[in-house]
Amino acid sequence: MRACVPLTVAILCGLAWAGLYLAPSSCQGRCLEAFDKHHSCHCNARCPEFGNCCEDFESLCGHEGFSHSSDAITKEELQSVSEKIYRADTNKARKEDIVLNSQNCISPSETRDQVDRCPEPLFTYVNEKLFSKPTYSAFLNLLNNYQRATGRGEHFTAQELAEQDTFLREIMKTAVMKELYGFLHQQNRYSSEQEFVSDLKNMWFGLYSRSKEERDSSGFEHVFSGEVKKGKVTGFHNWIRFYMQEKEGLVDYYSHIYDGPWDSYPDVLAMQFNWDGYYKEVGSAFIGSSPEFEFALYSLCFIARPGKVCQLSLGGHPLAIQTYTWNKSTYGNGKKYIATAYVVSSTH
């Protein structure tokens, strides 16, 4: 997979060419400030998504979850366990399982243009034998359980609720999820696997309202299946969902702004696309990963760095994931639902 210019470099170069003033270059005193196009780097909540944060954003603005607790999870521990999870993903796609046609790489300043610069589909070939594996099959069964428009309440049937349980049961059989649970158990976050699975079900599948006070959304629907709100695509960060929708003619791949450094799967792609009439300006996704791998990394980051940038390492390459909490409703002892999670950056 061809690697584009790192996002931060592309943005800084664009500003230099325009002759704009590049200072300030630090987040000192600027955390969560409003976006200003004249600044060379940014410190707002969405800068990780666009790859244009100042270098000290994480240290000054991305304060760790449990930062004042004796069982805080360190950056080094996150990098170590993410490498173990990466090595444990035996269900991921092999090189020959996917032929990707990434085509045009654009600059971040062009993402709002809504111009289709890629005449061919993103996926040239996918070995669909992957989808017969238990975790893939269970994952696919979940994707048709949602209405993508926000403001329309979700109502699960008994079968759909059973499909959630089946998915959780199947992924917990994998080395990936056993690695994650073992780490979190050692970190005193969960006392039993039953407690862990119960929390995952609430965290990911619990319904809350994004619009009109309807119980119309969940972390799983948003991140993996995708939603439409106010005429725009939100969430939709999963390669399997993308491939299936592209195969049906419902997704039109437009371009990408980032192609990760990995020479095998999983890789990372940040792309632009049209989903059945609705546009996604920046949609980052792992490519070729198993469902349990994505679920594990996003859960790890939500538990360890809720609402923060989470610094990981995969195959020796740094990678960051941003999660957001849903604060308007909670479950259990004030626990928050996951609102979204996505890959925000990875560099050589």
Do 150 and 216 meet the contact criterion of CB atoms below 8 Å apart? yes
Measured CA to CA, the distance from residue 207 to residue 149 in angstroms comes to 14
Q: Which of 237, 256, 308, 336 is catalytic?
A: 237
* Bridge partners (DSSP) listed for residue 310: 321
* Exposed/middle/buried for residue 133 (C-beta within 10 Å: 0-12, 13-18, 19+): middle
pLDDT of residue 151: 73
Q: What is the DSSP letter of 262?
A: -
Active site residue 280: yes
Beta bridge partners of 330: 336
Placement of tokens 């930062």 in the chain: 67
* β-bridge mates for residue 99, sequence order: 125
Three-state SS annotation for 235-254: CCCEHHHHHHHHHCCCEEEE
- Domain residue spans in the chain? 19-60, 75-344
Residue by residue, pLDDT tens for the chain (348 residues) are 344 644 433 333 232 222 223 347 887 767 767 777 778 888 876 676 567 888 877 767 754 333 334 458 999 999 999 999 999 999 999 999 999 999 999 999 999 999 999 999 999 999 999 999 999 999 999 999 888 877 777 788 999 999 999 999 999 999 999 999 999 999 999 999 999 999 999 999 988 888 776 777 888 999 999 999 889 999 999 999 999 999 999 999 999 999 999 999 999 999 999 999 999 999 999 999 999 999 999 999 999 999 999 999 999 999 999 999 987 888 887 888 999 999 987 654
E-strand stretches of 6-150:
98-100, 123-126
Contact, 218 vs 337, CB < 8 A?
yes
CA-CA distance, 42 to 38, in Å (whole number)? 10
pLDDT in the model for residue 106: 95
Largest pairwise CA distance in the chain: 60
The pLDDT, as a whole number, for residue 176 is 98
Is 42 tagged catalytic? Answer: no
From start to end of the chain, where are the E strands? 98-100, 123-126, 227-229, 232-234, 251-259, 267-275, 278-287, 309-314, 317-331, 335-346
Q: 325 by DSSP, 3-state: which? A: strand
Distance of alpha carbon 196 from the chain centroid? 21
Tokens of 62: 């991305």
Instruction: Pinpoint the alpha helices (H) of 113-269.
Output: 134-142, 158-171, 175-186, 193-205, 219-220, 239-247
Half-sphere exposure at residue 100, Cβ-oriented, CA atoms within 13 angstroms = 27
Specify which residues 318 forms β-bridges with: 313
Q: Which one of 92, 222, 308, 336 is the catalytic residue?
A: 222
Is the distance from CB of 32 to CB of 54 less than 8 angstroms?
no
Query: Is the peptide bond between 6 and the residue preceding it cis, with omega within 30 degrees of 0?
Result: no
What pLDDT does residue 5 have?
Answer: 46
Separation between Cα atoms, residue 300 and residue 75, nearest integer Å: 12
Which H or E run includes 86? helix 75-88
User: How far apart, in whole angstroms, are the C-alpha atoms of residue 75 and residue 161?
Assistant: 35
The one catalytic residue in 39, 256, 280, 336 is 280
Q: Is 222 a catalytic residue?
A: yes
The architecture that CATH gives domain 19-60 is Irregular (4.10)
